[in-house]
Amino acid sequence: MNEFGKRGKNTDLKADIGLENLGNVYWNLSPAELVEDIVLLGEGVLTDTGAVAVETGKFTGRSPQDRFIVCDDKTENTVWWGDINKKFDETKYQALYNRMKAYLTGRDLYVRDAYACSDEDYSLNIRVVTELPWSNMFASNMFLRPTDEQIENFTPEWHIVCAPNFLADPELDGTRQSNYAIINFTEKMIIIGGTGYTGEIKKGIFSVLNYVLPHEKEVLSMHCSANVGEDGDTAIFFGLSGTGKTTLSSDPNRRLIGDDEHGWAPNGSVFNFEGGCYAKTINLSAEKEPQIYGAIKFGAILENIGFFPGTATPNYDDDHITQNTRVSYPIDHIDNIMVPSRGTDPKNIFFLTCDAFGVLPPISKLTPGQAMYHFISGYTAKVAGTEAGITEPQTVFSACFGAPFLPLHPTKYAEMLGKKMSEGDVNVWLVNTGWSGGEYGVGNRIKLKYTRAMITAALKGELENQEFVKDDIFGLNMPTSCNDVPNEILNPKNTWEDKTAFDQKANDLAKSFVKNFETYQSDASSEIMNAAPKVLVK
């Protein structure tokens, strides 16, 4: 076994995780060295932007049904078991990992030392061992990068072993199919195989932090973006895909902390978990997303994109491989960022939803109980054309705006949010970036300039002195006026010609909320349950 690159004095893959008799092992290679290997090995190509483009194979997205957590003494009574967190037998895990180790014998590997959490009080050292160079480069882009001096004395707390070409045998290994991502909280390891989709690496560590930080360190982990204003005020944006989270948190007048995963600590720190961004690129343009577009340069990795014929120019409208085309890049590819990636206690929190039914107000102020209720609900809607088979708007609920990555019960995170709200002077706003004047196909999508104006008004405190009115079904407090926004759109019922149709559609949505919440109500406090919408017609 030959070893190359920068590594610590006391590194030993055999002693630490049982890997031995390997081929060449490449430690902490630079992006330039990794790009060279990616191209020479035929794993990817250079684009005319300088980014490297790869294809992730059969899987172009995460496979939630193939994500498991080892059930043992540590996790049996702490993890929220069910469809999201599926149990994996401890003995089966050890047998599968032994087979993975045998598969890696004699093979070249790439090792990356990195860490998560930009607040040093909560940082988590990670060693990522990958079969492929672009998986290693993804880890370099997405996690925080230690200095050469830190690498000299680096001690990993968690390990990830990623072998996309090693397939499981479901009958033998206890997996659902040949791909898998398995978290072992006792061994502090994640093993990933049968899939080249790099998001499994990123979301594996997010799931780990969603367990460790709330359960062991009283830090609220959050699937959100965050930025800081000129006066140092921090704002947080929660929202599922398509709600405008990245767009609305990218503000030229505010510095970006991060675009996806953060912690909110007892010391008042809001900190980025990551050192990079992992953005969708489908239909990307310089006009719509200038920051992402400009970040696609040398050091970035494009996944599953198409090209204009006969060129090395990415065609971001090409979805022949997948709609889920992606780019990863270090956060310093973006201008106007916070260095380091931290802020203080937020003054404003925004829950973004794209309500395709056109009944939620474009902005409303939530009580603490409502904030916890809507946080647990994590509502948005999908519209026709976004996915195969969708012909009319469909409700989507994802607890805490990140259900697939929550090892603990959602009420744990919601109660932590409620406690932080009660301890500090923080406003929580529900912002509908969806439809007004009718549902999808009848009304119109709320103009982005209006949404930006409402968020700006909230951030500046201009809505504090406005009169608010309460809607009948959801009990939401709606401002009656806002600078640069027509007053009539602030109350959604006013925008519908058929008021009876509005009431029926609002009642239908309320019933969806109530039905979804049945899963959580036995663990929810009375304050949370009292914030549920009032169904007027059964």
The three-state DSSP-derived secondary structure of 83-134 is: CCEEEEEHHHHHHHHHHHHHHHCCCCEEEEEEEECCCHHHCEEEEEEECCHH
Helix (H, G, I), strand (E, B) or coil at 295: helix
| Tokens encoding 283 | 């239909």
Ramachandran angles phi, psi of 523, nearest 5°? -105, 0
Phi-psi region of 148 (alpha: psi -120 to 50; beta: other; left: phi over 0): alpha
- Residue of 416, 397, 531 lying closest to 477 (CA atoms): 531
Helix, strand and coil content of the chain, in percent to the nearest 5, comes to 30, 25, 45
Catalytic residues: 62, 203, 223, 241, 245-246, 260, 326
Q: Which residues, in sequence order, are CB contacts of 310 under 8 Å at separation 6+?
A: none
CA distances from 392 to 165, 356, 383, 451, 498 (A): 39, 9, 6, 24, 20
Check the CA dihedral 245-246-252-256 and report its sign.
positive
CA–CA separation, 88 and 182 (whole Å): 8
